[in-house]
Amino acid sequence: MKPLVLLRRIGPHIPVPLPSLPFSLGLELARRQRWLQPPDELQGRRFALRITDLGLCVRFAYTARGFRPLLGEKEELELSAALADFIALLRGTADADTLFFQRKLGIRGDTELGLIVKNWLDASERPAWLQRLSTQD
């Protein structure tokens, strides 16, 4: 069975803290490698990403010490989209405004924070390896 097909089956049953830890570690690694440079306005803020087609949700915070899984606290901003749409955002092949107006990107919570994240994603340079990401099953 292909990994994404399996994940689609079990994703809705995975407790949120379980995928949040490796996701946060990945974000922190990207930050330390300088692939990801969050603006100062994100410090102390709490987020959730809901991957709708996989039934997964990851919750994390950006603190003075870097990215950490969010346990117990409520997120201030939740972005929801299909995996392919999140990958397109990361690669820079789609922008948040287009996905939002096509109803492919959902935003819930602090809209000002959502604009900060959107502007950051739009302005960020992507490493070369990120351009080669594929959404193939």
- Please give the full DSSP string across 103-119, using - where no structure is assigned: T-SEEEE-HHHHHHHHH
Above 90 in pLDDT, residue 11?
no
Residue 136 placed within a domain:
no
β strands within the chain, DSSP E: 45-51, 56-63, 66-69, 77-81, 106-109
pTM comes to 0.84
Residue 137 lies in a domain: no
Q: Domain containing 15: what range?
A: 3-131
Q: Is residue 64 part of a domain?
A: yes
User: How many Å is the maximal CA-CA distance in the chain?
Assistant: 42
Alpha carbon distance 36, 10 (integer Å): 29
Q: Which comes out higher in pLDDT, residue 98 or 1?
A: 98
The whole-number pLDDT of residue 60 equals 96
pLDDT band at 7 (very low <50, low <70, confident <90, very high): confident
Mean pLDDT of all residues in the chain?
A: 87
Q: What is the CATH number of the domain that holds 50?
A: 3.30.1050.10
Confidence of residue 47 (pLDDT cuts 50, 70, 90): very high
**Domain annotation covers residue 99:** yes
Higher model confidence: residue 67 or residue 91? 67
Question: In the structure encoding, which two tokens stand for residue 20, read together?
Answer: 């949040």
**For 94-126, what is each residue's pLDDT tens digit?**
888 899 999 999 999 999 999 899 888 877 777
pLDDT grade, residue 137 (50/70/90)? very low
Specify the range with the lowest mean pLDDT, choosing from 8-12, 29-33, 49-53, 75-79: 8-12
In sequence order, the 6+-apart residues with CB closer than 8 A to the CB of 24 are 58, 60, 67, 68, 69
Count of structural domains, the chain = 1
pLDDT tens, residue by residue, 60-80: 999 999 999 998 889 999 999
